[in-house]
Amino acid sequence: MDIGEDRVIALVDMDCFYVQVEQRINPELKNKPCVVAQYKTWKGGGIIAVSYEARAHGVSRNMWADDARKLCPDLQVARVREAHGKADLTPYREASVEVIEVMSRFAVIERASIDEAYMDLTGSVQDRLKHMSVQDITPQQLKSTYTQGFPQTSTSDPSEDARRLRGLQQWLERLSSSGQSSRAELCLTVGALIVEEMRAAVEEHTGFRCSAGISHNKVLAKLACGLNKPNHQTVLPLGSVPELFSTLPIRKIRNLGGKLGTSVKETLGVENIGDLTQFSKVQLEQHFGEKTG
DNA sequence: CATTACATTCCA
DNA sequence: TGGAATGTA
Ligand SMILES: Nc1ncnc2c1ncn2[C@H]1C[C@H](O)[C@@H](COP(=O)(O)OP(=O)(O)OP(=O)(O)O)O1
Ligand SMILES: [Mn+2]
Ligand SMILES: [Mn+2]
């Protein structure tokens, strides 16, 4: 049977990347509400990257720096350097190369943008599984991993990380008690081990933090990556997809953020990705090659 | 007044 | 085959 996909795919995306690059150049900016803006003259410049401290004040991309300062009075504004009257993105490009070089020691990397890359870990996972089993996996090896859909029960936890850990423990317990049927889930978990090591190496060698998603295809990996930013990674097993999709706006799926997504929504009269499962493949709008549901 | 950059697909 | 449209970072 060829139901889901058996591959293990990861997507690693740097957290507020240009901000981290500027913070490494000027350490005074670290741990502060901070943005990167370009073109100073008009309203203080347009913001293209925002630290998580600044996001807590409501600052976002596309804002003018002058407007952002109204929301966050002690906002630090780093500026994109200019060369020949044009924005000079060289420092960010070079930082990107540093990151890719570290990641390439772990897997074959497919660069998807200046701050993110996909990788197929299927082979590496199979190799590791020859020398290990479920019992060898501990929560300590997955310190920054969320397992989407877990914990399944809702008790009150003392902290967000306690909740994460409870979910992870439930997940590992289920893995070891459900025999062979959860081979795909085991592969994702081993993939998460590899990605934990990769992300630690990236931080050690570049100083930059990132988040990651681990799932069975690129669309799901990208989606998973965004679920627990910053500085965390998320495993998205196939079994957790229906619940996630049931409340997920169509525009959140890669390639459906624009006019196509809006037209799908309006033509079929649906809001969430999960609503699309009631339609068959026959009703493809001469524009679909990629899906997941 | 967003800006800059890049990939893919469509189509004359 | 190259410019326009689309989508994303
Ligand atoms: N519209 C844009 N115009 C110019 N530069 C952009 C734009 N969007 C993103 N960038 C640049 C700045 C970002 O730091 C970098 C990576 O983008 P992206 O991954 O979407 O956000 P981010 O890394 O700043 O935050 P996050 O933590 O949410 O990933 O690319
Ligand atoms: Mn990013
Ligand atoms: Mn990105």
> In this structure, is residue A197 part of a structural domain?
yes
Helix or strand run (H / E) with residue A204: helix A183-206
Instruction: State the Cα–Cα distance between residues A111 and A117, nearest whole angstrom.
Output: 4
Q: Are residues A195 and A120 in the same domain?
A: yes
Q: pLDDT tens-digit profile of A11-41?
A: 999 999 999 999 999 999 999 999 999 988 8
Find the nucleotide nearest A115 (Cα to C1′): C9
How long is the CA A16 to C1' B2 vector, in angstroms? Answer: 19
CATH number (domain holding residue A44): 3.40.1170.60
Which of A87, A106, A127 is the last residue in one of the domains? A87
> In this structure, is residue A3 part of a structural domain?
no
Residue nearest to nucleotide C7 (CA to C1'): A255
Which positions of A are annotated as active-site residues?
116
Q: Are residues A26 and A101 in the same domain?
A: no
Q: Are residues A149 and A121 in the same domain?
A: yes
**8 A C-beta contact, residue A292 and residue A217:** yes
Which of A87, A107, A129 is the last residue in one of the domains? A87
- Of A83, A55, A182, A281, nearest to A63 by C-alpha is A55
| CA distance to A41, A187, A217, A264, per residue, from A127 (Å) | 55, 11, 20, 42
Helix, strand, coil percentages (3-state) for chain A, rounded to 5, are 50, 15, 35
Q: Are residues A94 and A229 in the same domain?
A: yes
Q: Are residues A200 and A254 in the same domain?
A: no
Q: Which nucleotides of strand B come closer than 7 angstroms to any CB of the protein?
A: 1-5, 9-10
DSSP letter for A87, please.
E
Q: Are residues A127 and A35 in the same domain?
A: no
CATH number (domain holding residue A166): 3.30.70.270
Find the nucleotide nearest A93 (Cα to C1′): B5
Ligand 1, CB within 6 Å, residue ranges: A 13-18, 48-49, 114-115, 229-230
> In this structure, is residue A142 part of a structural domain?
yes
> In this structure, is residue A241 part of a structural domain?
no
Helix or strand run (H / E) with residue A83: strand A82-83
Whether nucleic acid strand C comes within 7 Å of the CB of A275, the answer is no
Q: Find the ligand nearest to A51 CA.
A: 1
Whether nucleic acid strand C comes within 7 Å of the CB of A190, the answer is no
Residue A262 domain boundaries: 247-288
- State pTM to two decimals: 0.97
Name A8's Cβ contacts closer than 8 Å, sequence gap at least 6: A120, A121, A122, A125, A187, A188, A190, A191, A214, A216
> In this structure, is residue A67 part of a structural domain?
yes
**Protein-nucleic contacts, chain A 85-124 to strand B, CB < 7 Å:** 86-87, 89
Give the total number of structural domains in chain A.
Answer: 3
> In this structure, is residue A223 part of a structural domain?
yes
**8 A C-beta contact, residue A227 and residue A148:** yes
Q: Are residues A83 and A99 in the same domain?
A: no
Residue nearest to nucleotide B6 (CA to C1'): A113
Q: Are residues A258 and A180 in the same domain?
A: no
Q: Are residues A118 and A202 in the same domain?
A: yes
> In this structure, is residue A106 part of a structural domain?
yes
Residues of chain A with pLDDT under 50: none
CATH number (domain holding residue A253): 1.10.150.20
And the tokens for A257?
């953020």
CA A242 / ligand 3 centre spacing (Å): 25
> In this structure, is residue A30 part of a structural domain?
yes
Which of A206, A235, A264 is the last residue in one of the domains? A235
Q: Are residues A138 and A69 in the same domain?
A: no
Q: Are residues A223 and A269 in the same domain?
A: no
Q: Are residues A38 and A75 in the same domain?
A: yes
ipTM of the complex: 0.98
Q: pLDDT tens-digit profile of A225-248?
A: 999 999 999 999 999 999 999 999
Which of A11, A12, A15, A16 has the most ligand 1 atoms within 8 A of CB, as the residue to mutate?
Answer: A16
